[in-house]
Chain A
């Protein structure tokens, strides 16, 4: 059995579908493409698909990935071609490769945040607060606690999870390129960052377009 990693993008209106919905869409795509994939065993067998790192609803992904196990004979190129034919709009197959890195080696993800403000003055004030906070190295926000049930929140210093932060102003937009902690040990959702900056600056973000661009390992080399 060969384990392959399918790299795909999730762009445009499909950003409004949840991770679970994405999973179901991929299951159906695999069925339509009649891929010789390994099915989970048990009461209700399903094609085995494991997503490397789920993407939150509302965020686009330029280079996402999921793993499958191939049972029959099929090359990565053939798999890519077969899957490409059946994808819904907004989901495109970029590449299929044998699995190289384990999912647990993911440490960071890079994002592009395009934040729209009601005025250029708002954008400027927000931009200045953002730079100041990152410079100072402290921005406390409440994050759902990982362990335990219910709505327990814990306070975290977000800036500790910001590996890289570059921002610029364009009229009433603030454009941010950031690399944030990602993966199973520590994960910073970019919405948490933008909302914390919104709270800190007291300036309302009118709309946020966020794209996850790439996943990285601890040494900042791309996850493959």
Chain B
């Protein structure tokens, strides 16, 4: 639903279906019995937000409660924003069309740093002050979760609380708590003082940051009984935790328009650049029976003709060879395609390969990440050139004529040789195509090469490293382009200024709240959209706030330096990250967790149990 006053403008904006709701399986409840209201906000457009699995899970979970009405909210595109501001229509939930400022919770999922101005814009469109301290009533409680919550400091000023880790249990606890406090007519402060006692709940206003003269953090002090460190939440049994059997089925085509079921959480690989590989530990698997029946229910309830298995590395699922036959047994009959993203090249067996033949082929993507073996060892991407090339060879034999390659520029210890290595590796893949005796006649090969800028992230062994400056990124891009001599390889690059800002906010402290607010007030929104990104305004915002972005991204931090996220506990220990960092600089790899436990420490989040160790 949408407010009646919007009706006459809907045909004047792009894709009005973004704003109307009413999709199949959206949950509309009788307000009489469900008095707790939750606005689940994704700070980007509908098509992106609706593709997000976490939102689907929590939306269904909250709506499975009789007392709760959870609604979806997305960032209106600029044309719609203009209408809403002009006509004074506050941001509303898609289920009821009612303003979210009247809800009990406004929850944002924070998936990437460049969505921060959208968060502020959505609060403002809702008719709320963006600063938490200026929202004085008990409700709405503005909360955040998702990967960026592992260092939420740049957003500390705007949020009442953050949820660290997996949300299935803690969201329900918060809901219960707020329900009680509403009955008691508590103040927001009283609620927050109680909420900070729930494990996984971080209330930034209860912590004070202190700084050295040179700008580095000197202390983060908990006050008023808040815990010194906040430990992230982990669901220990993925077979019994709530999993949706229905997805809202959008009318509009969205980015990932299909059923999705999780295989496992966490990752055994420990690629040193990859935040997801660390912050979702320890690894926990779901059983094939549970995955299979969820897939089946989802397809029946949605009518989707594709189901995707979701994890950080599909072929690391230990029971894939049990699951696939069970899945294919009904998907083939029902004309449903099974998508297996994130397959590694080094560990899929012949049997698996054969089973995959029954699956409709889509694009083929390899992620070598770095161009030389030396640098791949530094980042612990345990894959050899021969494995990459034989993977490509197999693919070309199987009839593929296009592959995608993902690389990063600016990885720690990178030299010009490593950058050149990217071009060389791409060339070798092209050569593999032409040396295939059975290559299709009259067809060329198309290798699209995407090179992004490396962003050091919290809770990775590279959290202390300097990021390349935008100028360095640009030089490397030009150098790489020069080294690509074949037209069969088409390179594409990320905007270096975006990578730079992402780096600044990923490792930023709470002083950056002022910069986010200034940039937003000066007109920045949708910063991850090329045509909306306004770097000059950002530069100006840093200047106005008296802060240098390079301080956050372009210097090597000493391992003894207090980091803005040091009071947040994601299980993995600093000692482990330091060990991994030292090994990286020595060019040594670390075996994956099933081969040999590297002692990351995350198992303590799960009662000492890690699936990789058994």
The answer to whether B22 and A44 have CB atoms under 8 Å apart is no
Measured CB to CB, the closest approach of chain A to B209, in angstroms, equals: 47
User: B444 in the interface, Cβ–Cβ < 8 Å?
Assistant: no
State the CA gap A21–B16 with chains docked (Å): 12
Nearest neighbor of B299 in chain A, beta-carbon distance: A31
Looking at A10-18, A73-81, A156-164, the stretch in contact with chain B turns out to be: A10-18
How many residues belonging to A are interface residues under a CB distance threshold of 8 Å?
Answer: 31
Of A24, A31, A206, A207, the residue contacting B253 (CB under 8 A) is A24
User: B8 in the interface, Cβ–Cβ < 8 Å?
Assistant: yes
Measured CB to CB, the closest approach of chain B to A36, in angstroms, equals: 12
The answer to whether B301 and A32 have CB atoms under 8 Å apart is yes
User: A54 in the interface, Cβ–Cβ < 8 Å?
Assistant: no
From 231 to 256 in chain B, residues with beta carbon under 8 angstroms from any chain A beta carbon are 249, 251-253
Measured CB to CB, the closest approach of chain B to A151, in angstroms, equals: 18
The answer to whether B8 and A28 have CB atoms under 8 Å apart is no
The answer to whether B22 and A89 have CB atoms under 8 Å apart is yes
Measured CB to CB, the closest approach of chain B to A194, in angstroms, equals: 12
Instruction: Report chain B residues within 8 Å CB of A25.
Output: 24, 249, 251
User: A39 in the interface, Cβ–Cβ < 8 Å?
Assistant: yes
State the CA gap A60–B24 with chains docked (Å): 18
The answer to whether B8 and A14 have CB atoms under 8 Å apart is no
The answer to whether A32 and B300 have CB atoms under 8 Å apart is yes
Instruction: Report chain A residues within 8 Å CB of B17.
Output: 16-18, 21
Q: A16-B16, A28-B303 are in contact. Are A207 and B8 (CB under 8 A)?
A: yes
Instruction: Report chain B residues within 8 Å CB of A88.
Output: 22-24, 249, 251
User: B20 in the interface, Cβ–Cβ < 8 Å?
Assistant: yes
From 96 to 137 in chain A, residues with beta carbon under 8 angstroms from any chain B beta carbon are 116
Q: A16-B10, A16-B16, A21-B251 are in contact. Are A86 and B303 (CB under 8 A)?
A: yes
User: B335 in the interface, Cβ–Cβ < 8 Å?
Assistant: yes
The answer to whether B20 and A13 have CB atoms under 8 Å apart is yes
Instruction: Report chain A residues within 8 Å CB of B302.
Output: 28, 32
State the CA gap A157–B253 with chains docked (Å): 36
State the CA gap A16–B20 with chains docked (Å): 8
State the CA gap A98–B320 with chains docked (Å): 46
Of B11, B251, B300, B305, the residue contacting A58 (CB under 8 A) is B11
Instruction: Report chain B residues within 8 Å CB of A31.
Output: 299, 303-305, 334-335
Instruction: Report chain B residues within 8 Å CB of A14.
Output: 22, 251
Instruction: Report chain B residues within 8 Å CB of A20.
Output: 253
State the CA gap A28–B20 with chains docked (Å): 20
User: B360 in the interface, Cβ–Cβ < 8 Å?
Assistant: yes
The answer to whether B7 and A207 have CB atoms under 8 Å apart is yes
How many residues belonging to B are interface residues under a CB distance threshold of 8 Å?
Answer: 28
State the CA gap A13–B7 with chains docked (Å): 10
Instruction: Report chain B residues within 8 Å CB of A45.
Output: 335
Instruction: Report chain B residues within 8 Å CB of A16.
Output: 10-11, 16-17, 19-20
- Overall SS of chain B's interface: loop
User: B21 in the interface, Cβ–Cβ < 8 Å?
Assistant: yes
Nearest neighbor of A86 in chain B, beta-carbon distance: B303
State the CA gap A138–B129 with chains docked (Å): 56
Of A24, A39, A89, the residue contacting B335 (CB under 8 A) is A39
State the CA gap A204–B300 with chains docked (Å): 47
Instruction: Report chain B residues within 8 Å CB of A28.
Output: 24, 249, 302-305
User: A29 in the interface, Cβ–Cβ < 8 Å?
Assistant: yes
Nearest neighbor of B25 in chain A, beta-carbon distance: A88
Instruction: Report chain A residues within 8 Å CB of B7.
Output: 207
Interface core residue of B8, B21, B24, B252 (most chain A CB under 10 Å): B24
Measured CB to CB, the closest approach of chain A to B94, in angstroms, equals: 11
User: A72 in the interface, Cβ–Cβ < 8 Å?
Assistant: no
Nearest neighbor of A47 in chain B, beta-carbon distance: B335
The answer to whether A13 and B22 have CB atoms under 8 Å apart is yes
The answer to whether B360 and A30 have CB atoms under 8 Å apart is no
Of B20, B22, B303, B305, the residue contacting A29 (CB under 8 A) is B303
The answer to whether B249 and A206 have CB atoms under 8 Å apart is no
Measured CB to CB, the closest approach of chain B to A214, in angstroms, equals: 23
User: A145 in the interface, Cβ–Cβ < 8 Å?
Assistant: no
Instruction: Report chain B residues within 8 Å CB of A86.
Output: 303
Measured CB to CB, the closest approach of chain A to B415, in angstroms, equals: 44
From 301 to 332 in chain B, residues with beta carbon under 8 angstroms from any chain A beta carbon are 301-305
State the CA gap A158–B21 with chains docked (Å): 35
Instruction: Report chain A residues within 8 Å CB of B21.
Output: 13
State the CA gap A29–B251 with chains docked (Å): 12
User: A27 in the interface, Cβ–Cβ < 8 Å?
Assistant: yes
Instruction: Report chain A residues within 8 Å CB of B20.
Output: 13, 16
State the CA gap A39–B252 with chains docked (Å): 23
User: A144 in the interface, Cβ–Cβ < 8 Å?
Assistant: no
User: A202 in the interface, Cβ–Cβ < 8 Å?
Assistant: no
State the CA gap A21–B15 with chains docked (Å): 11
List 3 A-B pairs, minimum CB-CB distance, nearest first.
Answer: A28-B303, A207-B8, A31-B303
User: 30 A-B contacts, Cβ less than 8 Å apart?
Assistant: A13-B1, A13-B20, A13-B22, A16-B10, A16-B17, A16-B20, A17-B17, A18-B17, A21-B252, A21-B253, A22-B251, A24-B253, A28-B249, A28-B302, A28-B304, A28-B305, A31-B299, A31-B303, A31-B334, A32-B300, A39-B335, A44-B360, A46-B305, A57-B11, A57-B16, A88-B24, A88-B249, A89-B22, A89-B24, A206-B8
Extra contacts, 11 of them, besides A13-B2, A27-B305, A58-B16 (Cβ < 8 A), are A12-B22, A17-B252, A18-B17, A25-B251, A28-B305, A31-B334, A32-B300, A57-B16, A88-B251, A116-B8, A207-B8
